[in-house]
Amino acid sequence: MSDRVPADLLEMADALVPGAPLGAARLARGGIHDVVLLPGVAAVRISRRPSGAEALPRRTELLRVIAACGLPFAVPEPLTPVTMFGDRAAVAVSWIDGAGLRDGEGDPAKIGELLGALREFPVPPDLRALLAVPRRYEGADSWAGILAEEVIPRFPEKWREEGRRRLEEALALEPVPDSLVHGDLVGGNVHWSEDGKLIGVLDWDRAHLFDPAIDAAFMGWHGWDTLRQAVDGDTYRRARVWERTFGVNQLVAVLELGGKPMASADSYAKHIVAWLEEEAGRDLPDRG
């Protein structure tokens, strides 16, 4: 998060939200977007790369459909059309009050309610058409093939057998019905009120259909003991398996591909190996 907003981004925000209090604007930087925060009014997402500009219309439509689905918490709603400013695309979305919790904080009951709302949500056809469906029941799972054929062979030799073992553990999980998975339930993406009530969930760019234990694994960010109290034993077990499959955040990056080839397998493998090395260097909770 940065308080200083470059002049060109302020101009884009002003064009999309005329009269907004630019003096109070703050800047947040995501993976492929800059976000101009206009507290109490709007958030303006602005692409940084051509790939972000190309993806923003679909991601904005995804927000529109999810926000209209009646989830029991707020979702940012598009306030403007996606607008091009040179080679950058921008859109204003509604402001969501509240703030994220710090690492290790969280009420198990409230976390369980959030995960349950996502797991039990009946996905309508128009939303289903916008979501990635990573699982392929008619043959080998495409995400697993990407890991097995493109990523694990790039590991240093000492990690390859362990990498294959962890992938096999994930593939051995019994099938469960796919559900709506947010895919990034961490930190500032989940907003709570000061008295601990869930207000809203932001950043649905990685939403897809898959095992709901993926989202539970993300909520391990609140502490695995907290998650154990928030979900049933089977969901907890599956969440631990998904987390051990090279870190759930990096796993979702592969799930998003939906069978498409990976353009940066070398870089991705390096990130996973760094995660494995870090994991090996710290004391981990039990695997139960």
pLDDT for 105? 92
pLDDT for 135? 65
pLDDT tens digits for 208-225?
999 999 999 999 999 999
Mean pLDDT of 56-66: 96
Mean pLDDT of 245-266: 84
Both tokens of residue 234? Answer: 């089977």
Mean pLDDT of 16-44: 94
Does 288 map to a domain?
no
pLDDT tens digits for 97-117?
999 998 899 999 999 999 999
Specify the CATH number for the domain of residue 255.
3.90.1200.10
Instruction: Report which of 32, 54, 272 is spatially closest to residue 146, judged by C-alpha positions.
Output: 272
User: What are the start-end ranges of the H helices in the chain?
Assistant: 7-16, 50-67, 108-119, 125-128, 142-146, 157-171, 213-218, 224-230, 233-244, 248-255, 265-280
If you write DSSP's letter for every residue of 62-130 in order, what string do you get?
Answer: HHHHHHTTT-SSB---B-S--EEETTEEEEEEE---SBPPPTT---HHHHHHHHHHHHT----HHHHTT
Q: Compute the Cα dihedral for 59, 64, 65, 68 and give only its sign.
A: positive
Does 101 map to a domain?
no
- Kindly report the average pLDDT of the chain as a whole number: 91
pLDDT tens digits for 269-286?
999 999 999 998 875 544
Does 285 map to a domain?
no
Q: Coil, helix or strand for 199?
A: strand
Rounded (5°) CA angle 183-186-191: 110
**Does residue 168 register a pLDDT over 70?**
yes
Does 286 map to a domain?
no
Q: Are residues 177 and 214 in the same domain?
A: yes
Q: Are residues 158 and 245 in the same domain?
A: yes
Of 94, 123, 154, which residue is a domain's last? Answer: 94
pLDDT for 138? 46
Of 49, 70, 94, which residue is a domain's last? Answer: 94
Task: Give me the half-sphere count of Cα atoms (radius 13 Å) on the Cβ side of residue 15.
Answer: 16
Q: Are residues 124 and 250 in the same domain?
A: yes
Of 94, 129, 162, which residue is a domain's last? Answer: 94
Q: Are residues 184 and 226 in the same domain?
A: yes
Q: Quote the number of domains for the chain.
A: 2
Q: How confident is the model at residue 262 (pLDDT cuts 50, 70, 90)?
A: confident
pLDDT for 140? 52
- Of all residues in the chain, the percent with pLDDT exceeding 70 is 94
Rounded distance between C-alpha atoms, residue 31 and residue 203, angstroms:
11
Q: Between β-strands 198-201 and 190-192, what pairing exists: parallel, antiparallel or unpaired?
A: antiparallel
**Does residue 263 register a pLDDT over 70?**
yes
pLDDT tens digits for 145-156?
899 999 999 999
Print the domain residue range for 83.
7-94
pLDDT for 258? 66
pLDDT for 257? 77
pLDDT tens digits for 182-208?
999 998 999 999 999 999 999 999 999
Q: Between β-strands 33-38 and 42-47, what pairing exists: parallel, antiparallel or unpaired?
A: antiparallel
pLDDT for 287? 45
Rounded distance between C-alpha atoms, residue 175 and residue 132, angstroms:
18
